[in-house]
Structure formats: C-alpha cells, structure tokens
Amino acid sequence: MAKNIKDITVGESFSASEEVDKYRAIYYAGASGDFNPIHIDPEIGKMVGLGGVILHGLCTFGFMTKTVTDWAGDPGTLKRIKCRFARPVHLGDTITTSGTVSKVQGNRVSIDLKVMSQEGVEVLAMATAEVEL
C-alpha cells in the first residue's frame, strides 16, 4: 500500500540490503542481454584488473530502485531516480541502500540515497529519487 503524503516527514529514513549471490550476474545477463565478459567470466574480470566478475551497474541501480519503491509502497509513485556509478560490485558483496527524506513539497517527496558495500564503500554516488504520493 502506498504511503500517505501526510505521514512523511523530512529526515525520515529507511534502508534495505541485497546480497549479490554467485549467480546474480548470470541472471541479469540473461534478462538484459548484456553478456559482456567482465560480468560472466572470472578470468576476463581478473585480466582487466577488476578482481573477477563484477555485477552490472544497472543491476545495482535496480537494487537501489527497489528499496525506494518498497518504501513508497507502490512502484508507480517513482517519478525520478538517478546516480553516478562509482565502484564495482562483486559477487558475494552485500549492498545496502539507505534513504533519507530531504524535502516534501506538495505531493512530491525528494530522497537522498546512499548505496554502500559491506565494506562501507559507496558503489553508487550522488543518488537521489523523487516520488509522488
């Protein structure tokens, strides 16, 4: 159920975590059609200096988006979301997305997001979202 704008306050926060299981990059490659070897071949990932397979950036973006839409209660409320891809995500990582309401204006809610690895490294930077309730 979607949140009610009357119940949202500036400073309100929420978070969720996703574990990147060993098959996630393969699943995402199949769904997206992106079979770039850095996402599916550990040897190629090592050869190019990535330390092995890295997750598709848009899959990480999907984790972030899901956190926002789960909090809002309805994916149809999402009006805008953006970020900069900052660091690679590896298989076995746990990604935590934290959101803080920064502005409520009319029926629009602006959210500042932090997307971090289990090591405290920001993997998506300058992330923000806007929902309309």
Please write down the HEC assignment for all residues of 61-117. HHHHHHHHHHHHCCHHHEEEEEEEECCCCECCCEEEEEEEEEEEECCEEEEEEEEEC
For this structure, is 34 an active site residue? yes
| pLDDT range class, residue 1, cuts 50, 70, 90 | confident
The model's pLDDT over 67-97, given as tens digits with 9 standing for 90+, comes to 999 999 999 999 999 999 999 999 999 999 9
For this structure, is 90 an active site residue? no
Q: Is the pLDDT of residue 2 over 90?
A: no
| Residue of 5, 26, 34, 40 marked active site | 34
Amino acid 31: pLDDT: 96
| Residue of 39, 45, 56, 99 marked active site | 39
Enter the pTM of the model. Answer: 0.95
For this structure, is 57 an active site residue? yes
| Residue of 38, 45, 56, 57 marked active site | 57
What distance in Å separates the CA atoms of residue 133 and residue 114, rounded to the nearest whole number?
Answer: 22
For this structure, is 52 an active site residue? no
| Residue of 38, 54, 95, 111 marked active site | 54
> The domain 5-19+56-132 is classified under which CATH number: 3.10.129.10, 3.30.9.10, 3.30.360.10, 3.40.640.10?
3.10.129.10
| pLDDT range class, residue 63, cuts 50, 70, 90 | very high
